[in-house]
Amino acid sequence: MAKVHVTTSINGEPMEFLCEPSDTMLDALRGTLNLTGSKEGCASGDCGACSITLDDRLVCSCLMLAVESEGHEIRTIEGMAQGDRLHPLQQKFLEMAALQCGICTSGMLVASDALLKKNPDPSEEEVRFWLAGNLCRCTGYDKIVRAVMETAAEMRAQ
């Protein structure tokens, strides 16, 4: 079967890859491109572990075909830190222990980052609603929500 050639941009870098027409973006990221930060939880759009942004909009990479990234801008958890310098959300998640097993964490971070770019001063309720599509089996969410709120406050102060 003929593979499809895709030209896209991932974390600001021009990228070309080959994929099957039925491959999801998550398949391409984790398999072909070896960007394994995005996790596969449910593969049906329910858990948010595979969250990425497509042209700055938050999406589940399991719910898009890899071929659909042609000509678009993809950002993943791998693009969040600047070299060795963690993004303030990553730093705060560590400091406040806003993670346990870690499977949901990259999706939580990508989703939280998308929220703060859109709304630098969210209420707790807004954070909870925004992250409703990111499921976690271990943390109970409170530490995550607090870390996002605190990061937002610090980023606003800067």
Partner 1 sequence: MTELRYLAPDTLDEAVGAFAKAGSAARILAGGTDLLVQMRSGVLKPGVIVDIKKIPEMTAIEQTADGGFRIGAAVSGMALAEHGKFGKVWPGVLEAVNLIGSKQVQGRASAGGNLCNGSPAGDSVPAMVAAGAVVTVQGPNGRRDMKVEDVPAGPGRTNLKPGEILVSFALPPRPPGSSDAYLRMIPRTEMDIAVVGVGVSLTIKDGTVTSARVGLGAVAPTVLLVEDAARALIGSKLDDAALAKAAAACSAACRPIDDKRGTIAYRTKVAGVLLRRTAAIAAQRATQKN
Least separation, in Å, of the C-beta of 152 and partner 1?
16
Q: CA–CA separation, 29 vs 13, rounded Å?
A: 14
For residue 60, give the H/E element and its range. Answer: strand 57-60
**Does residue 1 bind partner 1 (CB under 8 A)?**
yes
Place of tokens 């870690």: 102
Mask: binding to partner 1, 2-41, rule CB under 8 A, as x and -? --x---------------xxx-x-----------------
Nearer CB in complex with partner 1: 56/95: 56
**Does residue 86 bind partner 1 (CB under 8 A)?**
no
CB neighbours of residue 106 within 10 Å: 24
Residues 118/126, Cβ–Cβ less than 8 Å: no
Least separation, in Å, of the C-beta of 24 and partner 1?
7
The token pair that represents 122 in the structure block = 């969210």
Applying CB under 8 A, the span of 31-39, 64-72, 85-93, 146-154 interacting with partner 1 comes to: 64-72
Report phi then psi at 41, rounded to 5: -100, -75
Nearer CB in complex with partner 1: 6/35: 6
